[in-house]
Chain A
Amino acid sequence: MTLVPTLTELELDAMTELVNLGVSNAATSLSELVREEVILSVPKANVVTREQAIANLREHGAKRLVAIHQDFDGDIRGRALLIFPEARSMELIRALVGAELSPDDIIELEQEALAETGNILLNGCLSTIANSLERNLKISLPEVIHGEGTDFFYPNSDAHETVLFIYINFTVKQRDIQGFLAMILDLPSLVMLQKLLDAYIERSTGESRASDHAG
Protein backbone atom coordinates (compact mmCIF):
# COMPACT_ATOMS: atom_id res chain seq x y z
CA MET A 1 0.00 0.00 0.00
CA THR A 2 1.23 3.44 -0.90
CA LEU A 3 2.05 5.70 2.00
CA VAL A 4 0.06 8.89 1.69
CA PRO A 5 1.62 12.02 3.16
CA THR A 6 -1.01 13.60 5.34
CA LEU A 7 -1.81 17.19 6.10
CA THR A 8 -1.97 18.31 9.72
CA GLU A 9 -5.36 19.02 11.23
CA LEU A 10 -4.92 22.77 10.84
CA GLU A 11 -3.69 22.43 7.24
CA LEU A 12 -6.74 20.32 6.41
CA ASP A 13 -8.90 22.90 8.19
CA ALA A 14 -7.32 25.65 6.08
CA MET A 15 -7.83 23.65 2.88
CA THR A 16 -11.48 22.92 3.79
CA GLU A 17 -11.99 26.59 4.53
CA LEU A 18 -10.54 27.59 1.14
CA VAL A 19 -12.79 25.08 -0.64
CA ASN A 20 -15.72 26.37 1.41
CA LEU A 21 -14.93 29.94 0.35
CA GLY A 22 -14.54 28.92 -3.28
CA VAL A 23 -17.70 26.82 -3.41
CA SER A 24 -19.71 29.50 -1.57
CA ASN A 25 -18.59 32.10 -4.09
CA ALA A 26 -19.44 29.70 -6.89
CA ALA A 27 -22.85 28.96 -5.35
CA THR A 28 -23.58 32.67 -5.46
CA SER A 29 -22.88 32.71 -9.22
CA LEU A 30 -24.76 29.45 -9.71
CA SER A 31 -27.82 30.75 -7.87
CA GLU A 32 -27.87 33.78 -10.17
CA LEU A 33 -27.87 31.36 -13.10
CA VAL A 34 -30.76 29.19 -11.81
CA ARG A 35 -32.48 32.14 -10.04
CA GLU A 36 -32.96 29.99 -6.95
CA GLU A 37 -31.10 29.48 -3.74
CA VAL A 38 -28.31 26.92 -3.87
CA ILE A 39 -27.88 25.33 -0.46
CA LEU A 40 -24.49 23.93 0.44
CA SER A 41 -23.38 21.53 3.12
CA VAL A 42 -20.11 22.01 4.95
CA PRO A 43 -17.41 20.34 2.86
CA LYS A 44 -15.44 17.48 4.39
CA ALA A 45 -11.89 17.18 3.07
CA ASN A 46 -9.36 14.40 3.35
CA VAL A 47 -6.16 13.28 1.64
CA VAL A 48 -6.51 9.73 0.36
CA THR A 49 -5.01 7.30 -2.17
CA ARG A 50 -6.65 6.77 -5.55
CA GLU A 51 -8.03 3.43 -4.30
CA GLN A 52 -9.62 5.10 -1.29
CA ALA A 53 -11.09 7.82 -3.47
CA ILE A 54 -12.75 5.18 -5.64
CA ALA A 55 -13.97 3.35 -2.53
CA ASN A 56 -15.38 6.63 -1.15
CA LEU A 57 -17.46 7.10 -4.28
CA ARG A 58 -18.77 3.51 -3.99
CA GLU A 59 -19.62 4.01 -0.32
CA HIS A 60 -21.95 6.83 -1.23
CA GLY A 61 -23.82 4.37 -3.41
CA ALA A 62 -23.17 5.95 -6.76
CA LYS A 63 -22.05 3.67 -9.56
CA ARG A 64 -22.58 5.47 -12.84
CA LEU A 65 -21.09 8.90 -12.48
CA VAL A 66 -20.45 11.97 -14.48
CA ALA A 67 -17.35 14.07 -13.89
CA ILE A 68 -16.34 17.48 -15.09
CA HIS A 69 -12.64 18.00 -14.82
CA GLN A 70 -10.19 20.81 -15.32
CA ASP A 71 -6.42 20.57 -15.20
CA PHE A 72 -4.37 23.16 -13.41
CA ASP A 73 -0.72 23.97 -13.72
CA GLY A 74 1.67 26.21 -11.82
CA ASP A 75 3.52 25.73 -8.53
CA ILE A 76 0.91 23.08 -7.86
CA ARG A 77 -0.27 20.93 -10.74
CA GLY A 78 -3.01 18.39 -11.00
CA ARG A 79 -6.62 17.84 -11.91
CA ALA A 80 -9.74 19.09 -10.21
CA LEU A 81 -12.94 17.08 -10.63
CA LEU A 82 -16.57 17.71 -9.86
CA ILE A 83 -18.39 14.37 -9.70
CA PHE A 84 -22.14 13.65 -9.62
CA PRO A 85 -24.16 10.48 -9.68
CA GLU A 86 -25.24 10.27 -13.32
CA ALA A 87 -28.87 9.83 -12.30
CA ARG A 88 -28.85 13.25 -10.61
CA SER A 89 -27.05 15.06 -13.39
CA MET A 90 -30.30 15.36 -15.36
CA GLU A 91 -31.87 17.04 -12.33
CA LEU A 92 -29.05 19.54 -12.29
CA ILE A 93 -29.53 20.24 -15.97
CA ARG A 94 -33.29 20.69 -15.53
CA ALA A 95 -32.59 23.11 -12.70
CA LEU A 96 -30.25 25.03 -14.96
CA VAL A 97 -32.16 25.11 -18.22
CA GLY A 98 -35.72 24.73 -17.02
CA ALA A 99 -38.11 21.78 -16.98
CA GLU A 100 -40.07 22.96 -19.98
CA LEU A 101 -37.49 21.68 -22.44
CA SER A 102 -38.08 18.48 -24.37
CA PRO A 103 -35.95 15.43 -23.49
CA ASP A 104 -34.16 15.79 -26.83
CA ASP A 105 -33.23 19.37 -26.08
CA ILE A 106 -32.02 18.41 -22.62
CA ILE A 107 -29.80 15.68 -24.03
CA GLU A 108 -28.42 18.13 -26.54
CA LEU A 109 -27.71 20.67 -23.80
CA GLU A 110 -26.42 18.15 -21.29
CA GLN A 111 -22.71 18.37 -22.08
CA GLU A 112 -22.80 22.13 -22.25
CA ALA A 113 -24.78 22.57 -19.02
CA LEU A 114 -22.52 20.18 -17.13
CA ALA A 115 -19.38 21.83 -18.46
CA GLU A 116 -20.71 25.24 -17.48
CA THR A 117 -21.68 24.15 -13.95
CA GLY A 118 -18.33 22.44 -13.50
CA ASN A 119 -16.57 25.50 -14.82
CA ILE A 120 -18.31 27.78 -12.30
CA LEU A 121 -17.69 25.53 -9.31
CA LEU A 122 -14.19 24.35 -10.17
CA ASN A 123 -12.96 27.76 -11.28
CA GLY A 124 -14.49 29.27 -8.14
CA CYS A 125 -12.55 26.82 -5.99
CA LEU A 126 -9.29 26.91 -7.89
CA SER A 127 -9.17 30.68 -8.19
CA THR A 128 -9.99 31.13 -4.49
CA ILE A 129 -7.26 28.63 -3.61
CA ALA A 130 -4.74 30.27 -5.97
CA ASN A 131 -5.47 33.80 -4.74
CA SER A 132 -5.42 32.82 -1.08
CA LEU A 133 -2.15 30.94 -1.48
CA GLU A 134 -0.82 33.87 -3.52
CA ARG A 135 0.03 31.70 -6.49
CA ASN A 136 -1.03 31.75 -10.08
CA LEU A 137 -2.67 28.66 -11.54
CA LYS A 138 -3.28 28.09 -15.23
CA ILE A 139 -6.66 26.38 -15.54
CA SER A 140 -7.68 24.35 -18.59
CA LEU A 141 -11.14 24.24 -20.16
CA PRO A 142 -13.64 21.82 -18.62
CA GLU A 143 -14.15 18.33 -20.02
CA VAL A 144 -17.11 16.08 -19.25
CA ILE A 145 -16.66 12.32 -18.84
CA HIS A 146 -19.17 9.62 -17.95
CA GLY A 147 -18.02 6.48 -16.17
CA GLU A 148 -17.10 4.97 -12.84
CA GLY A 149 -14.62 5.99 -10.15
CA THR A 150 -11.84 3.98 -11.79
CA ASP A 151 -12.27 5.98 -15.00
CA PHE A 152 -11.68 9.25 -13.16
CA PHE A 153 -8.89 8.27 -10.81
CA TYR A 154 -6.77 6.06 -13.07
CA PRO A 155 -6.18 8.20 -16.14
CA ASN A 156 -2.44 7.45 -16.50
CA SER A 157 -1.77 5.74 -13.26
CA ASP A 158 1.07 6.98 -11.11
CA ALA A 159 1.03 5.22 -7.76
CA HIS A 160 2.43 8.26 -6.00
CA GLU A 161 -0.40 10.55 -6.86
CA THR A 162 -2.74 11.39 -4.03
CA VAL A 163 -6.29 12.61 -4.05
CA LEU A 164 -7.63 15.43 -1.97
CA PHE A 165 -11.19 14.23 -1.66
CA ILE A 166 -13.96 16.62 -0.70
CA TYR A 167 -17.53 15.56 -0.07
CA ILE A 168 -20.20 18.19 -0.42
CA ASN A 169 -23.94 18.15 -0.68
CA PHE A 170 -25.84 20.78 -2.54
CA THR A 171 -29.46 21.39 -3.18
CA VAL A 172 -30.71 23.33 -6.17
CA LYS A 173 -34.40 24.18 -6.49
CA GLN A 174 -35.40 21.56 -3.90
CA ARG A 175 -33.56 18.90 -5.91
CA ASP A 176 -31.05 17.24 -3.67
CA ILE A 177 -27.89 16.81 -5.69
CA GLN A 178 -24.86 15.30 -4.01
CA GLY A 179 -21.55 16.17 -5.48
CA PHE A 180 -17.97 15.29 -4.85
CA LEU A 181 -15.02 17.50 -5.44
CA ALA A 182 -11.62 15.94 -5.85
CA MET A 183 -8.16 17.19 -6.65
CA ILE A 184 -5.58 14.74 -7.91
CA LEU A 185 -2.12 15.91 -6.95
CA ASP A 186 1.28 14.32 -7.47
CA LEU A 187 3.61 14.04 -4.50
CA PRO A 188 5.70 17.19 -5.18
CA SER A 189 2.47 19.18 -5.59
CA LEU A 190 1.09 17.91 -2.29
CA VAL A 191 4.35 18.86 -0.56
CA MET A 192 4.18 22.31 -2.18
CA LEU A 193 0.51 22.65 -1.24
CA GLN A 194 1.43 21.91 2.36
CA LYS A 195 4.10 24.64 2.32
CA LEU A 196 1.73 27.16 0.77
CA LEU A 197 -1.00 26.28 3.27
CA ASP A 198 1.44 26.84 6.14
CA ALA A 199 2.36 30.25 4.74
CA TYR A 200 -1.36 31.04 4.31
CA ILE A 201 -2.08 29.98 7.91
CA GLU A 202 0.76 32.16 9.10
CA ARG A 203 -0.55 35.16 7.15
CA SER A 204 -4.12 34.59 8.37
CA THR A 205 -3.35 34.05 12.02
CA GLY A 206 0.02 35.70 12.55
CA GLU A 207 1.33 32.43 13.99
CA SER A 208 4.06 30.18 12.64
CA ARG A 209 3.08 26.54 12.28
CA ALA A 210 6.47 25.19 11.21
CA SER A 211 6.83 23.31 14.50
CA ASP A 212 3.81 21.15 13.66
CA HIS A 213 5.82 19.20 11.14
CA ALA A 214 7.92 17.12 13.48
CA GLY A 215 8.42 13.76 11.73
Chain B
Amino acid sequence: MAYTILIVDDSKLARMSVAKVLGTLHPDWKRVEAANAAEALSQTRELSPEVVLVDFNMPGKDGVTLAAELRALDPRISVAVISANRQTEVIKRAEAAGATFLPKPVTASALADFLASIPGQRTADSR
Protein backbone atom coordinates (compact mmCIF):
# COMPACT_ATOMS: atom_id res chain seq x y z
CA MET B 1 0.00 0.00 0.00
CA ALA B 2 1.23 3.46 -0.85
CA TYR B 3 1.37 5.68 2.23
CA THR B 4 1.12 9.43 2.57
CA ILE B 5 4.14 10.91 4.31
CA LEU B 6 4.39 14.44 5.64
CA ILE B 7 7.79 16.15 5.89
CA VAL B 8 7.93 19.03 8.39
CA ASP B 9 10.99 21.30 8.39
CA ASP B 10 11.42 25.09 8.35
CA SER B 11 14.31 24.61 5.93
CA LYS B 12 13.23 24.09 2.34
CA LEU B 13 16.56 22.47 1.60
CA ALA B 14 16.12 19.97 4.43
CA ARG B 15 12.65 19.06 3.13
CA MET B 16 13.96 18.62 -0.40
CA SER B 17 16.82 16.51 0.89
CA VAL B 18 14.52 14.16 2.87
CA ALA B 19 12.15 14.02 -0.11
CA LYS B 20 15.03 12.89 -2.31
CA VAL B 21 15.94 10.03 0.04
CA LEU B 22 12.26 9.04 0.29
CA GLY B 23 11.95 9.10 -3.47
CA THR B 24 14.63 6.43 -3.72
CA LEU B 25 13.07 4.28 -0.96
CA HIS B 26 9.35 4.59 -1.75
CA PRO B 27 8.81 6.35 -5.07
CA ASP B 28 5.11 5.41 -4.97
CA TRP B 29 4.38 7.13 -1.65
CA LYS B 30 2.67 10.50 -1.64
CA ARG B 31 5.01 13.15 -0.22
CA VAL B 32 3.60 16.30 1.36
CA GLU B 33 5.59 19.12 2.96
CA ALA B 34 4.97 21.63 5.74
CA ALA B 35 7.24 24.50 6.82
CA ASN B 36 5.96 24.83 10.40
CA ALA B 37 3.83 23.24 13.10
CA ALA B 38 0.58 25.02 12.14
CA GLU B 39 0.90 23.88 8.53
CA ALA B 40 1.74 20.36 9.69
CA LEU B 41 -1.37 20.14 11.87
CA SER B 42 -3.72 21.38 9.15
CA GLN B 43 -2.13 19.07 6.54
CA THR B 44 -2.54 16.18 8.96
CA ARG B 45 -6.22 16.94 9.55
CA GLU B 46 -6.78 17.23 5.83
CA LEU B 47 -4.70 14.37 4.45
CA SER B 48 -4.38 11.88 7.37
CA PRO B 49 -0.78 10.90 6.62
CA GLU B 50 0.39 7.55 7.98
CA VAL B 51 3.91 8.84 8.60
CA VAL B 52 5.21 12.26 9.67
CA LEU B 53 8.88 13.28 9.77
CA VAL B 54 9.43 16.31 11.99
CA ASP B 55 12.51 18.51 12.34
CA PHE B 56 13.30 19.23 16.00
CA ASN B 57 14.68 22.77 15.85
CA MET B 58 11.96 24.95 14.30
CA PRO B 59 10.83 28.50 15.05
CA GLY B 60 7.77 28.57 17.30
CA LYS B 61 6.75 25.09 18.31
CA ASP B 62 9.59 22.56 18.43
CA GLY B 63 9.44 19.16 16.78
CA VAL B 64 8.83 17.15 19.95
CA THR B 65 5.84 19.28 20.98
CA LEU B 66 4.47 18.94 17.47
CA ALA B 67 5.05 15.17 17.53
CA ALA B 68 2.98 14.88 20.72
CA GLU B 69 0.17 16.97 19.21
CA LEU B 70 0.15 14.88 16.04
CA ARG B 71 -0.06 11.69 18.07
CA ALA B 72 -2.88 13.17 20.14
CA LEU B 73 -4.69 14.00 16.92
CA ASP B 74 -4.30 10.47 15.61
CA PRO B 75 -2.41 7.88 17.70
CA ARG B 76 -1.94 5.69 14.62
CA ILE B 77 0.44 8.18 13.02
CA SER B 78 4.07 7.07 13.08
CA VAL B 79 6.21 10.09 13.88
CA ALA B 80 9.98 10.50 13.67
CA VAL B 81 11.73 13.51 15.17
CA ILE B 82 14.87 14.44 13.24
CA SER B 83 17.76 16.40 14.74
CA ALA B 84 21.54 16.75 14.79
CA ASN B 85 21.02 17.62 18.44
CA ARG B 86 21.50 14.17 19.91
CA GLN B 87 21.32 15.23 23.55
CA THR B 88 19.84 12.62 25.85
CA GLU B 89 17.13 15.09 26.90
CA VAL B 90 15.96 15.56 23.31
CA ILE B 91 15.94 11.83 22.56
CA LYS B 92 14.08 11.09 25.82
CA ARG B 93 11.47 13.76 25.12
CA ALA B 94 10.96 12.48 21.57
CA GLU B 95 10.45 8.95 22.84
CA ALA B 96 8.10 10.14 25.59
CA ALA B 97 6.02 11.83 22.88
CA GLY B 98 5.73 8.46 21.16
CA ALA B 99 8.12 9.37 18.37
CA THR B 100 11.26 7.74 17.03
CA PHE B 101 14.44 9.80 17.11
CA LEU B 102 16.47 9.96 13.88
CA PRO B 103 19.86 11.72 13.73
CA LYS B 104 20.24 14.46 11.13
CA PRO B 105 21.34 14.38 8.32
CA VAL B 106 19.00 11.46 7.74
CA THR B 107 20.62 8.59 5.91
CA ALA B 108 18.73 6.30 3.55
CA SER B 109 19.43 3.31 5.82
CA ALA B 110 18.20 5.04 9.02
CA LEU B 111 15.04 6.16 7.26
CA ALA B 112 14.50 2.71 5.72
CA ASP B 113 14.83 1.12 9.20
CA PHE B 114 12.30 3.54 10.66
CA LEU B 115 9.83 3.03 7.81
CA ALA B 116 10.20 -0.73 8.08
CA SER B 117 9.30 -0.50 11.78
CA ILE B 118 5.97 1.26 11.27
CA PRO B 119 2.87 -0.83 11.80
CA GLY B 120 1.66 -2.70 8.74
CA GLN B 121 -1.24 -2.02 6.44
CA ARG B 122 -4.18 -0.08 7.67
CA THR B 123 -7.64 -1.28 7.01
CA ALA B 124 -9.46 0.38 4.16
CA ASP B 125 -11.95 2.13 6.45
CA SER B 126 -9.20 3.97 8.28
CA ARG B 127 -8.65 6.38 5.37
Binding site for B on A (CB under 8 A): 9-10, 13-14, 16-17, 20-22, 24-25, 27-28, 31, 37-38, 40-42, 201, 204-207
- State whether A204 touches B85 (Cβ < 8 A): no
With the chains together, A71 CA to B105 CA distance in Å?
Answer: 26
Q: Within the complex, what minimum Cβ distance (angstroms) separates A8 from chain B?
A: 11
| A16 contact set on B, CB distance < 8 A | 11
**B96: interface (CB < 8 Å):** no
- State whether A37 touches B20 (Cβ < 8 A): no
With the chains together, A201 CA to B10 CA distance in Å?
Answer: 16
Q: Which of B80-118 contact A (CB under 8 A)?
A: 83-90, 104-105
With the chains together, A204 CA to B104 CA distance in Å?
Answer: 13
Majority SS at the chain A contact face:
helix
- State whether B16 touches A28 (Cβ < 8 A): no
With the chains together, A38 CA to B20 CA distance in Å?
Answer: 31
With the chains together, A187 CA to B38 CA distance in Å?
Answer: 39
- In the complex formed, the residue of A with least CB distance to B83 is A24
With the chains together, A22 CA to B57 CA distance in Å?
Answer: 13
**B59: interface (CB < 8 Å):** yes
The listed residue (B17, B20, B85, B86) touching A40 by CB distance below 8 A is B85
Q: How many residues of B contact A (CB 8 A)?
A: 23
Question: 9 A-B pairs, CB-CB below 8 angstroms?
Answer: A10-B12, A16-B11, A20-B84, A24-B83, A37-B87, A37-B89, A201-B13, A205-B19, A207-B16
The listed residue (B59, B89, B105) touching A21 by CB distance below 8 A is B105
With the chains together, A25 CA to B88 CA distance in Å?
Answer: 12
Binding site for A on B (CB under 8 A): 10-14, 16-17, 19-20, 23, 57-59, 83-90, 104-105
- State whether B104 touches A24 (Cβ < 8 A): yes
- In the complex formed, the residue of B with least CB distance to A14 is B13
- In the complex formed, the residue of A with least CB distance to B56 is A24
- State whether B11 touches A17 (Cβ < 8 A): yes
With the chains together, A40 CA to B104 CA distance in Å?
Answer: 15
With the chains together, A170 CA to B38 CA distance in Å?
Answer: 24
With the chains together, A20 CA to B10 CA distance in Å?
Answer: 12
| B13 contact set on A, CB distance < 8 A | 10, 13-14, 17, 201, 204-205
- State whether A42 touches B59 (Cβ < 8 A): yes
With the chains together, A25 CA to B56 CA distance in Å?
Answer: 13
| B11 contact set on A, CB distance < 8 A | 13, 16-17, 20
- State whether B84 touches A21 (Cβ < 8 A): yes
With the chains together, A122 CA to B110 CA distance in Å?
Answer: 27
| A24 contact set on B, CB distance < 8 A | 57, 83-86, 104
| B12 contact set on A, CB distance < 8 A | 9-10, 13
Q: Within the complex, what minimum Cβ distance (angstroms) separates A11 from chain B?
A: 9
